[in-house]
A = this chain, B = another copy of it.
Amino acid sequence: MAMRGTRKKTAEKPHYHHGDLRRALLDASLALISEEGFGALSLREVARRAGVTHAAPYRHFEDKEALLVAVAEEGFRVMTARMKERMARETSPEGRLAECGVAYVLFAVEHPAHFRVMFGPHFTQPPKLGPPGGDTDSFGLLVDSITQGQRAGVFREGEPLPLALTCWSLVHGLSSLLVDRKLEMSGVITVAQAETLALEQTRLLLRGLMRATSN
């Protein structure tokens, strides 16, 4: 901890103008949602935690919704990156598809605040996901892994989009139930347990997706 600490952050920025308030606001939002729940998210409390007045955020975000949109976009970027990372560990189509699903659920469990904002009932307008193939196009990754599996003759024939939607539904449902704590009949569920659940469920669906080679 050999920091000469004029300010606590890494780069020495005793700047009056806070250095990077935008980032601080995003972080404060995520922390607040994680600690107190989504309902407790108020622009004023976020500003308070960032150490500025309640009007300062309006220099960086037009709106409370604009802040949430920024959080959601960041979330999609991170999620897509995680999916790419995990999918790279496998070569077989079924392995890659399973990793894709597990990554989705793990992202949700490890970044519940991001996940809630990304898929919550907010947003008057659709959150405009980036272009296909971009760094936020997680659904594209899913569709691709399915068409690849079909081309390799491992997955059953059929329109890839409905099949991809089925996979998405499964992992999104599990993620939602975990994040919103609907499964906690007995104790909080750990990340490791979530991974086990995700693998288990993905494999079951995979059985229905594969050509009949018997498992």
Residues of chain A whose beta carbon lies under 8 Å from any beta carbon of chain B: 37-39, 116, 119-122, 124, 126, 162-163, 165-166, 168-177, 179-184, 197, 200-201, 204-209, 212, 214-215
11 residue pairs A–B, Cβ–Cβ below 8 Å:
A37-B124, A119-B176, A121-B179, A165-B174, A165-B197, A166-B200, A169-B170, A169-B201, A170-B170, A172-B177, A173-B173
Bound-state CA distance A176–B118 (Å) is 13
Please give, as numbers and ranges, the residues of chain B lying within 8 Å of A170 by CB-CB distance.
Answer: 166, 169-170, 173, 205
Please give, as numbers and ranges, the residues of chain B lying within 8 Å of A200 by CB-CB distance.
Answer: 162, 166
**Oligomer copy total:** 2
Shortest Cβ distance from residue A100 to the other chain B in the assembled complex, whole angstroms: 14
Bound-state CA distance A155–B109 (Å) is 30
On whether the beta carbons of B180 and A119 are closer than 8 Å, the reply is: yes
Bound-state CA distance A212–B207 (Å) is 10
Q: Given contact pairs A39-B121, A168-B173, A176-B176, enumerate 17 new A-B contacts (beta carbons under 8 Å).
A: A116-B121, A162-B200, A162-B201, A165-B174, A166-B200, A166-B205, A169-B169, A169-B170, A169-B174, A169-B201, A170-B170, A173-B174, A204-B209, A205-B208, A208-B208, A208-B209, A212-B214
